[in-house]
Chain A
Amino acid sequence: MAAIFTAVQEELASIGSSLGSDGLGHQRSILNGESSSFETTKTLFKDFRGIGIPESLGGDGGSLVDLVVFIESLARKVEPTSYIIHMAAVQVALGAALNVSPAVAGNEIWTLGLFEKPGQRWGEWECLISDDLVSVVKIGVPYAQNCQGVVIAGANNEIALVDQFSVTERASLDPSLQFCDVVISGRPREIGAQSQRASLRGALVISAELVGVARGALQSATEYASSRQQFGQFIGSFQGIAHLLADAFVEVEAAWSLVLYAAWAVEESAADAVVSSHSAIAKAGSAAIEVTEKCLQVFGGIGVTWEADAHLYIRRVLALNAILGGYASHYRLAGQQLLAN
C-alpha cells in the first residue's frame, strides 16, 4: 500500500474541499424549506462522475482509493448532493460486473437499495433476484425520486440493477438526504455477479463521507473553542474542552486510516478485504456519531439551537449510519470474520 497521497489524490482532496465549501448554507436552506440551487451537484455530475471508474468503462481511471479521498474532502461541510450516493451505487455495480455505462456517460443517476425492513442486518437481505420478476419494497433509499436506476442487493448477496419502480418520499431527520420507499416490481435491467464485496465498495464510499462530515464538525468546534472566551480565556485552553477535541481527533484519524486501507484492500482483492471493510465501515459510523455529538457539546448552549450548525453534522451522520445498516452490525461482522479464520 502506498501510504501517502499521490499528487492526483492531493489535487482531488483540494478540489473536493473547495467544491463542498458551500454545503452548510445549502443544507440550512433545505432544512428551512427554502429552495436551494444545486450548482455544485451539477458540476459534480458533469466533471467528476468518472473518478475511480476504469477508462475502459468510460471513466476517468484511478481507484476506489482516489474516490474515497475525493468524497471525504467534499463532505466536510455536509454538502447536500445525490452525487455521493450515486457514486456509491456505481461502485456496487462495478463490483458486481454490471454495465455501468449509462451512469458513467451521464445519462442516468443511480441510487442504492439495500434494506427491506427496520432492524435488518447488513447482508441479510431477503429479496429473491431472478430474471423474470423482482418484487420487493426497499426502504431508506436516498434520492430515489430523482434516479433512473436503483442498484439493489438481494438474498445471497446477489446484486441487480432495476429501472422499473415507484417511489414514496419519506421525511428523514436530514431533509437534504431524501429517504424514499421504493416499490420494485418487474424484470431487472441486469443481474450482476453474486458478490459479498460489491456492496462493501459502496459502503466504503459512504464511510468516506462519514469521516469527512466528522472532520468538518471537528474543524468547526476547534475554531469555536479557539475564539469563544469564558473566565477571561479561550475555552479551548481548558483541558475539559481540549482533551475532548483531542479524543475526537483520534477517532477521526482511526476511521480515516481504516477507510483508506479498506479501499485499497478491496481494490487489490487482498485477503483481508472483507474484515478490513467491515472494520472501516463500523468505525466510520461510530466515530462520526461520537465526534459530531462531542462537537455539539463544545458549543455549549448555542450548540442546541436551530441557528447553530452543530446539529446539521449530527443529522447527516445519523442518516448515513442508517443507510449502512448501523455500525454495530459491521463490528459484529468483523468479529465473525476474525473468529471464522
Chain B
Amino acid sequence: MEQREFRAVVRNWIENTMQQLPETGAVNQVDREVNSRWWQERLYADGWAGLSWPVEFGGRGLSSIEESIFNAEAAHVEAPMPINLVGMNLAGPTIMLHGTEEQKKRYLPQILSGEQVWCQGFSEPGSGSDLASLSTKAAKVDGGWVVNGQKVWTSSGHLAQKCMLLTRSHPNEPKHKGITYLLADTKDFDIRPLVMVNKDAEFNEMFISDVFVSDDDVLGSPGSGWGYALSTLSFERGTIGFNLQVWARRALDQLIEIVRTVGLDTDVGVLEQIGKFESDVAAIRIGGIRAMAAISSGAAPGAESSTLKLLWARTVKNINRYAIEIQTSSGVLVDNLNSADVVHRYLRSRGHSIEGGTDEIMKSIIAERVLGLPRSR
C-alpha cells in the first residue's frame, strides 16, 4: 500500500475509534488509564498493535515508516498511550534481540494483546544516574535465582504483570560485568505508588523480598545483563526521540490557543516569545529527522540524541511555564478543568529534565562523547 493511502486508512481508523473513547476530557490518572487499556485492546483487535513486529509474533511485518505514520496520526489527535507502551517499545524489542525462541513465543504475543503489561525495573534508590552501580541482589539457587532489593521510578509498575529486572548476580565482578537481566513476574513484588508534584502516580517503588525467578526467565547469559540493558535504553531513547517533537508541538499549540483566548495575539513581547518557542520546537523536529536519517544510512545511534533530549526538556518546561504566566491570576487557578490542566502539565513537565537522564548527565555525555572533552564528574 502506498504511504499516502496507508495514512488515510490510519487516520480513518483513529478518528472512528477516538469517537468511542470511554472517558472523554480525561485529566485524572484513573480515567487516562481506563482509556489506555481500552486503546490497547482496540489496537490489538483491529491489527494496529506491533505494526513493525514480525508476523510470527503477532505483528504486521511492516516497516518502521508505517509505524511512525501511525504514531504521528495518533499523536495529532491526542489519542491515548496504549497501556503496554513499555512492553511494546522496550521489553518486546529487547526480547526479540536477546531472548531465546521459547521466550519470544511465550512473551511477545501477550505484549501486543496487553494481557501482560510490562514495567522496567532499572533505577534504584542508590543508583539513579549511575545505573550500573545497582545493588538489587540475585542469588543462584537450584533452578533459578532469588532476588532481594528495591527499585524506584517504575512507570506502570502498578499495572504490570512482568518486569525487566536488572540484578547484581556476580558481586565480585566489576560493576558492568556482574549484572543479570531477568524477565520477572511482579506478583510477589510489593509495589507502592510515588505521588508526584502534580498528584499523579505514574511511577512506583518496588520492594522485592526473596522473590524466585526461574532460569527460563534469564535474558541471555547471567552476568551479561548490562549489554542487554543498553539495548533497552537505546530503544527507550529511540521511542522518546520520536515522541519528543510531538509532545513539544502539542505544548506549543496549546500555548497558542491560550494566547488567543487571553487576547495577547498581537502583543510584541508575546509574539517574540512564541517565535522563540517555535524555533526550538522546529529544531527538535528537524534534529529528530536528521538523527533518524543518519541512523538509517548506517551511522550508529550516537550521543547526539542527548542534544535533542536537552533541547526538548528546556523547551517544553518553558512553554508550559509561559502558559501559566501569560494568564496572570487565572493561570494559577485549579477550580476549572482547563486551567487545572495547564497547571497539571506545568508540574508534570518539571520532571522532563530529570527522567530518561538528567540535563546534567546529558551535558556530560555531549561534552565527553560529542565534543571529546576530558572526562568530567
Contacts and interface: CB of A to CB of B under 8 A. Distances in A.
A110 to B, nearest CB: 29
A250 interface: yes
A261 B279 CA distance: 11
A242 B363 contact: yes
A225 B278 contact: no
B322 to A, nearest CB: 12
Contacts of A157: none
Nearest to B377: A239
Interface stretch (B12-20, B73-81, B86-94, B282-290): B282-290
B268 A254 contact: no
A240 B256 CA distance: 36
Interface residues of A, number: 46
Interface string A90-110: 000000000000000000000
B307 interface: yes
B289 A1 contact: yes
Contacts of B363: 239, 242-243, 246-247
B297 A4 contact: yes
B373 interface: yes
A335 B367 contact: no
B282 A339 contact: no
B242 to A, nearest CB: 14
Contact of A249 (B259, B283, B364, B371): B371
A77 to B, nearest CB: 18
Main secondary structure of the interface of B (DSSP, over half): helix
A234 interface: yes
A338 B279 contact: no
Contact of B307 (A4, A250, A261, A328): A250
A282 B376 contact: no
Contacts of B199: none
A189 interface: no
B377 to A, nearest CB: 7
Interface stretch (A80-88, A159-167, A273-281): A273-281
Nearest to B283: A254
Given A238-B376, A279-B275, A253 B294 contact: no
B34 interface: no
B282 A276 contact: yes
A89 interface: no
Given A239-B376, A246-B367, A338-B256, A278 B290 contact: no
Contacts of B272: 328, 331-332, 335
B310 interface: yes
A1 B372 CA distance: 30
Given A261-B286, A336-B271, A3 B292 contact: yes
B376 A279 contact: no
Contacts of B293: 2-4
Contacts of B362: 246
A295 interface: no
B291 to A, nearest CB: 9
Contacts of B265: 339
Contacts of B368: 242
A332 B268 contact: yes
Interface in B248-282: 256, 259-260, 265-266, 268, 270-276, 278-280, 282
Interface of A: 1-4, 218, 222, 225-226, 233-234, 236-239, 241-243, 245-247, 249-250, 253-255, 257-258, 260-261, 275-276, 278-280, 282-283, 328, 330-336, 338-339
5 contacts: A3-B290, A222-B371, A239-B376, A282-B276, A283-B280
